[in-house]
Amino acid sequence: MKLYGALIAVAAISLAAGLAGSVGALQPLLGIGVPYCALAILLVGLSWRVIRWSRSPVPFRIPTVCGQQISLPWIKSSRLESPHSTLGVIGRMGLEVLLFRSLFRNTRSRIDQGPRLIYGEAKWLWLGAMAFHWSLLVVVLRHLRFVVEPVPAVALWLDGLDGFFHVGVPVLYVTDIVLIAALLYLLVRRLREPQVRFISLFTDYFALFLLLGIALSGIWMRYFARVDAVAVKQLALSLTVFSPSLPKNLSAWFFVHLGLVCTLAAYLPFSKLMHMGGIFLSPTRNLANNNRMKRHVNPWNYPVKVHTYEEWEDEFREKIEAAGLPVEKH
């Protein structure tokens, strides 16, 4: 139900966008109105989410420490797994954000006869996640050539690198293949592993299908439908300078792609896909393990009812004195 529901939802969005895109009168709405709306929702939504997160304070310094602390000078501390300085924290976050350090730790466990636990390495999830996120980044950067003129060097360079194999016309991008493969892996994993399937929600499948839809429609446009790239660029450039003009010869396939991208942009702030922003704020990762070195201040620290020494001595005075222990008051 969750799975098919999500599939149907994404298919319906694609169909609606494609149909509307083939009706001339609806093209301005789809090519100009929807992208602006989606972008506005994305920007406002993103800021709203990030502001809401940052408005909740971090009352305690609670890093999850994954290495040796800094203590005695002759014990080597782990600067990245248990950072005690800002530099170390930046390093740890860098590893986390760029290389998915924690996911790399992944292990599998099973129990054998005995019962006895056995652990195996499980790097597939890490590999799939790396492949997906990095190729997505490259794909997004490659798209810069549509919205910036002159095309930035980084986009050209990535373009060349990505099409390194010079297979086919137009040149086949490696990241297209990797992106699709990684998404399929993540989907299959979600379906085939009982644990992951058990925890999966409609939204998990929806996000996957949405991304798959975007990738597939993009590939279809480039390699098979051969959409007029010049026209696309015209539209994109006109949008960026806020004087939108709609070229005539845009195909319905382009509108499918654009519709899905706009859906993703508008959906993103309300979804788990916000994890890309959240990771930077995660208090178990972005704080230094220097708790006893540097005092952390809790902005809402408030006085609490305690059992004072005086109250304690009053209650037990006779016993304390009988035991020969010193008291404040006799």
Among 22, 41, 77, 127, binds another protein (CB under 8 A): 77
CB of 286 to another protein, least distance (A): 8
What is the spatial distance between Cα 113 and Cα 120, in angstroms, rounded to a whole number?
A: 16
- Maximum Cα–Cα distance for the chain, whole Å? 99
- How many residues in the chain? 330
Q: Give dist(CA 214, CA 173) in Å, integer.
A: 15
119 neighbors 125 (Cβ within 8 angstroms): no
* Contact status: 85 vs another protein (CB under 8 A): no
Least Å distance between CB 304 and another protein? 5
Dihedral angle over CA of 71, 73, 74, 76, nearest 10: 60
Among 22, 200, 234, 238, contact with another protein (rule: CB under 8 A): 200
Q: How far is the CB of 20 from another protein (least distance, A)?
A: 24
- 226 is a contact residue toward another protein (CB under 8 A): no
Residue 110: both structure tokens together? 């099973």
Work out whether 134 is an interface residue with another protein (CB under 8 A).
no
Q: What is the CA radius of gyration of the chain?
A: 28
- Interface with another protein, residue 53, by CB under 8 A: yes
Least distance (Å) between residue 48 CB and another protein: 11
Spatial distance between the Cα atoms of 127 and 269, rounded to a whole number of angstroms? 26
Here the tokens at position 137 are 């980044």
Closer residue to another protein in complex, CB, 129/181: 129
Q: Pick out residues in 284-323 that bind another protein (CB under 8 A).
A: 284-285, 289-298, 300-301, 304-309, 312-313, 315-316, 319-320, 322-323
Minimum CB distance to another protein, residue 135 (Å): 17
| Residue selected from 74, 169, 242, 248 as contacting another protein according to rule CB under 8 A | 74
Only one of the segments 27-35, 154-162, 169-177, 282-290 lies at the binding site for another protein (rule: CB under 8 A); that segment is: 282-290
Q: Which x/- pattern over 158-197 shows residues binding another protein (rule: CB under 8 A)?
A: -----------------------------------xxxx-
Peptide bond into 170 cis (omega under 30): yes
Span of 34-42, 170-178, 198-206, 233-241 interacting with another protein by CB under 8 A: 198-206
CA distance 94 to 96: 5
Residues binding another protein: number (CB under 8 A): 106
d(CA 43, CA 277): 13
Q: Find, among 221, 225, 297, the residue nearest to 259 by Cα.
A: 221
